[in-house]
């Protein structure tokens, strides 16, 4: 360009492009630093570094726009501005090198010696620049100091690149928790920047100045600034695109309004009217620059990111369609679909607390996260987390979030409980979030949590109604059965007495048959007794019971049956482990469990073994009875304690039902589970006392 004024205007405009880009990056960095206040050192270094980049290019634009020396009123002005640009570059070099090890999630922590050498070298170079610019005696070394500063910046960039190559993760740029990880494209950009810096230094050396005043140097300087901004900009691409479009639109509107107003004022013959037009132009500019920004952002969100302008209202409308009658899973699915659609998530999932399940929408992998969060949802804080805050989570959870590319999490909280978390993934060009968006999401999830509370209560109420209806049926059946049992008990007793007399009559030719009749009648009488026991309300006599002694005596009483069946028993019992219980009722429960185990072992092949363990567990006494029998089918496991449900050919199905009712009356718990060898029943009872363990082993039984 032959016209110096035109060249300076173009040069200023060219420098303003990277200045604007770095300003947007710096603004977002400061928002993250001040808004979320993360503890990591990365977020203290990054805002300063990006701000210095923006300042550097703004100063270059200022040099081009400022008349030299301002007509003699400010001698040495350009020289002072050039000194500031050089100092900004010298400060950027150690900040960049310090930033590199802070970016990876598991990067090394720089030592104090390393930090002292890193920033101390920058201080020495900056002192040399100040000395050669401000002290007349050293101004002869000014150019040498400038060249030394350029070499220093190139060396620091090289050292940073070498460290980045060691810490690099292979793969392309991606959104999520690993937003700051060094990736393969970052290395390409940094190496290109190093080559560009070398060419830049050569161009400056050829021009003999520290200010890129030639066309080639101007191009290299701007390209270098934009290239170094790419790794930062791409990680916040949605925000950068929106703010760049917003800034460019506002600049264009400002220029159009300002020059249009001046042209209109100049075309009016009346000076007073011209000043009024100028005033209206300024007022219009204020409208564009202040309240008009929100509308412009909404238009950009709609056109670029396809996101609605009334997101909070859309979420409220979606929440109003949810009903507890849908159930927990259906409400979560509908709510997640609405949230993903309104906020334009790439993928999202609701991971319910306690391993209750996961509902996914879009592209997101949650298998590993389900395992880590099952029963440990407190590992994620009960507040929204952005990608920068996810870096502070435990290592295993953080790595799982990286694999799933999670960018942000939101809790689902109600006044009663934490239902789970929403995990969201985003594309690189994701719509930016502001505080209003986060507040809208939190409000929507709070309303969803209340609906889930209602769904849970409704499900419980329905279950209670069904249980009551079932209980009424059982009560009617039990009453009828009790009447029948009472009516047939007397005839059975009479028949049993007669069979006993016939079986013991000397010389009877039917002694064997009479004995068989007697056994069957005794079995029927036991079943009738169980039915009557189940039907009547039992009375409990609670007292202090040594559970270990009670279990040992019970097994000793059953020794004849154990010997006959050839069953090996191992008992692990405590000393002095006591509970407030009815000893006879607990003994009946143990007898039932051990007799069931004996029956199961008789019908099975292989080793015959029963393990009984009495122990303290979680503030309760635990009695576990485990056998090596064939077990029960999986579909029958949940029905073992139901009245009249039995897997035995001649069973009444009342033994375990009575056992459960007895343990419930003690304030305890009984549960059945399939063990690796067979079947296991565990009883928990409240207790007091200490425990020291002994082991007793015998074939066919144990001694108390």
pLDDT digits over 495-549, tens only?
Answer: 767 777 766 666 666 666 666 777 777 777 766 666 666 666 667 888 899 998 9
Q: What count of other Cβ atoms lies within 10 Å of the Cβ of residue 113? A: 8
Average model confidence (pLDDT) for the chain? Answer: 78
Separation between Cα atoms, residue 53 and residue 20, nearest integer Å: 10
Answer positive or negative: Cα dihedral of 22, 25, 27, 33.
negative
pLDDT above 80: residue 702: no
At 693 the pLDDT is: 42
Q: Kindly give the residue spans of alpha helices, DSSP state H, lying in 344-434.
A: 367-373, 387-390, 395-404
Question: How far, in whole angstroms, is CA 118 from its chain's centroid?
Answer: 37
Separation between Cα atoms, residue 488 and residue 529, nearest integer Å: 11
State the pTM of this model.
Answer: 0.57
At 314 the pLDDT is: 87
CATH 1.10.357 fits 4-235, yes or no: no
- Identify which has the larger pLDDT, 662 or 480: 662
CA-to-CA dists, residue 106 to 113, 180, 510, 558, angstroms? 20, 11, 88, 62
CATH 3.40.50.740 fits 311-455, yes or no: no
pLDDT tens-digit readout, 317-326: 999 999 998 9
Strand order in the sheet with 693-699: 669-674, 679-686, 620-627, 609-617, 568-574, 693-699
The CATH classification of domain 543-699, taken from the options 3.30.565.10, 3.40.50.300, 3.40.47.10, 3.40.50.720: 3.30.565.10
DSSP per position, 27-96? HHHHHHHHHH---STHHHHHHHHHHHHHHHHHHHHHHHHSPGGGTTTSTTHHHHHHHHHHHHHHHHHHHH
At 175 the pLDDT is: 59
Separation between Cα atoms, residue 269 and residue 611, nearest integer Å: 110
* Residues 437-460, mean pLDDT to the nearest whole number: 90
Backbone angles phi, psi at 605, to 5 degrees: -105, 170
* Residues 485-494, mean pLDDT to the nearest whole number: 69
For 659, residues 6+ apart whose C-beta sits below 8 A from its C-beta are 588, 589, 592, 593, 641, 670
* Residues 157-169, mean pLDDT to the nearest whole number: 82
Separation between Cα atoms, residue 424 and residue 307, nearest integer Å: 16
Exposure class string for 466-496: b at 16+ Cβ within 10 A, else e: eeeeeeeebeeebeebbeebeeebeebeebb
Which residues in the chain are classed under CATH 3.30.565.10? 543-699
- Identify which has the larger pLDDT, 225 or 440: 440
Separation between Cα atoms, residue 436 and residue 453, nearest integer Å: 26
Q: Residue 291 — pLDDT band, cuts 50, 70, 90? A: low
Separation between Cα atoms, residue 177 and residue 389, nearest integer Å: 8
**Residue 439 half-sphere exposure toward CB, CA atoms < 13 A:** 5
381 token code pair? 């804080």
What is the biggest distance separating any 2 CA atoms in the chain, rounded to whole angstroms? 148
189 token code pair? 């950009």
**Residue 233 half-sphere exposure toward CB, CA atoms < 13 A:** 19
pLDDT above 50: residue 679: yes
**Residue 675 half-sphere exposure toward CB, CA atoms < 13 A:** 19
At 261 the pLDDT is: 67
Which residues in the chain are classed under CATH 3.30.450.40? 311-455
At 558 the pLDDT is: 87
pLDDT tens-digit readout, 226-244: 888 888 877 777 777 777 7
495 token code pair? 């028949």
Which residues in the chain are classed under CATH 1.20.1070? 4-235
pLDDT above 80: residue 251: no
Give, as one character, the DSSP assignment of residue 209: S
At 60 the pLDDT is: 84
- Name 347's bridge partners: 362, 425
* Residues 268-294, mean pLDDT to the nearest whole number: 67
Q: Residue 652 — pLDDT band, cuts 50, 70, 90? A: low
């Amino acid at each position: 360009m032959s016209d110096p004024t035109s060249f300076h205007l173009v040069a200023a405009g060219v420098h303003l492009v990277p200045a604007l880009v770095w300003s947007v990056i710096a603004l977002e960095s400061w928002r993250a630093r001040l808004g979320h206040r993360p503890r990591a050192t990365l977020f203290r270094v990054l805002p300063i570094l990006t701000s210095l980049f923006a300042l550097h290019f703004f100063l270059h634009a200022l040099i081009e726009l400022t008349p030299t020396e301002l007509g003699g009123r400010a001698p040495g002005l350009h020289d002072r501005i050039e000194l500031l640009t050089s100092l900004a570059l010298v400060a950027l070099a150690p900040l960049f090198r310090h930033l590199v090890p802070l970016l990876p999630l598991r990067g090394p922590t720089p030592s104090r010696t390393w930090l002292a050498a890193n920033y101390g070298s920058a201080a020495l170079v900056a002192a040399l620049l100040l000395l050669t610019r401000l002290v007349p005696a050293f101004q002869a070394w000014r150019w040498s100091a400038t060249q030394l500063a350029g070499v220093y910046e190139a060396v620091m960039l090289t050292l940073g690149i070498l460290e980045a190559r060691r810490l690099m993760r292979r793969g392309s740029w991606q959104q999520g928790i690993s937003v700051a990880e060094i990736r393969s494209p970052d290395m390409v950009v940094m190496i290109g920047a190093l080559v560009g810096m070398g060419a830049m230094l050569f161009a400056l050396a050829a021009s003999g100045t520290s200010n890129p005043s030639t066309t080639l140097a101007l191009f290299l300087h701007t390209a270098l600034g934009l290239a170094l901004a790419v790794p930062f900009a791409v990680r916040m691409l949605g925000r950068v695109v929106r703010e760049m479009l917003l800034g460019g639109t506002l600049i264009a509107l400002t220029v159009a309004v300002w020059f249009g107003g001046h042209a209109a004022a100049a075309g009016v013959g009346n000076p007073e009217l011209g000043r009024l037009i100028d005033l209206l132009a300024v007022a219009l500019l204020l409208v564009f620059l202040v309240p008009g920004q929100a509308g412009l952002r909404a238009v950009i969100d709609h056109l670029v990111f396809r996101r609605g302008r009334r997101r909070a209202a859309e979420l409220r409308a979606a929440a109003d369609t949810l009903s507890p009658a849908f159930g927990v899973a259906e409400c979560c699915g509908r709510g997640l679909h609405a949230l993903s659609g309104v906020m334009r998530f790439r993928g999202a999932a609701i991971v319910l607390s306690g391993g209750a399940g996961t509902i996914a929408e879009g592209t997101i992998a949650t298998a590993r996260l389900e395992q880590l969060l099952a029963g440990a949802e407190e590992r994620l804080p009960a507040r929204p987390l952005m990608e920068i805050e996810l870096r502070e989570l435990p290592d295993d959870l953080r790595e799982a979030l990286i694999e799933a590319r999670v960018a942000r999490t939101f809790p689902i909280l109600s006044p009663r409980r934490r239902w789970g978390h929403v995990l969201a993934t985003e594309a690189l060009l994701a719509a930016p979030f502001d505080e209003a968006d986060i507040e809208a999401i939190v409000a929507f999830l709070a309303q969803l949590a209340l609906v889930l509370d209602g769904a849970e209560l409704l499900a419980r109420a329905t279950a209670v109604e069904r249980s009551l209806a079932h209980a009424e049926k059982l009560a009617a059946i039990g009453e009828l059965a009790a009447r029948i049992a009472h009516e047939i008990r007397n005839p059975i007793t009479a028949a049993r007495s007669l069979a006993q007399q016939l079986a013991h009559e000397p010389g009877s030719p039917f002694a064997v048959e009479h004995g068989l009749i007697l056994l069957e009648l005794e079995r029927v009488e036991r079943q009738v007794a169980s039915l009557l026991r189940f039907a009547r309300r039992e009375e409990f006599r609670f007292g202090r019971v040594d559970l270990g002694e009670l279990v040992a005596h019970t097994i000793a009483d059953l020794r004849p049956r154990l010997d006959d069946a050839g069953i090996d028993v191992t008992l692990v019992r405590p000393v002095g482990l006591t509970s407030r219980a009815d000893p006879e009722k607990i003994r009946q429960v143990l007898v039932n469990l051990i007799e069931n185990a004996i029956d199961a072992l008789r019908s099975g092949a292989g080793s015959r073994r029963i393990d009984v363990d009495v122990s303290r567990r979680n503030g309760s006494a635990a009695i576990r009875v485990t056998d090596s029998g064939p077990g029960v089918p999986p579909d029958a496991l949940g029905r073992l304690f139901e009245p009249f449900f039995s897997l035995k050919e001649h069973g009444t199905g009342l033994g375990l039902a009575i056992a459960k009712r007895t343990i419930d009356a003690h304030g305890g718990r009984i549960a059945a589970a399939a063990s690796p060898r067979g079947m296991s029943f565990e009883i928990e009872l409240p207790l007091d006392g200490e425990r020291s363990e002994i082991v007793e082993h015998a074939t066919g039984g144990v001694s108390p």
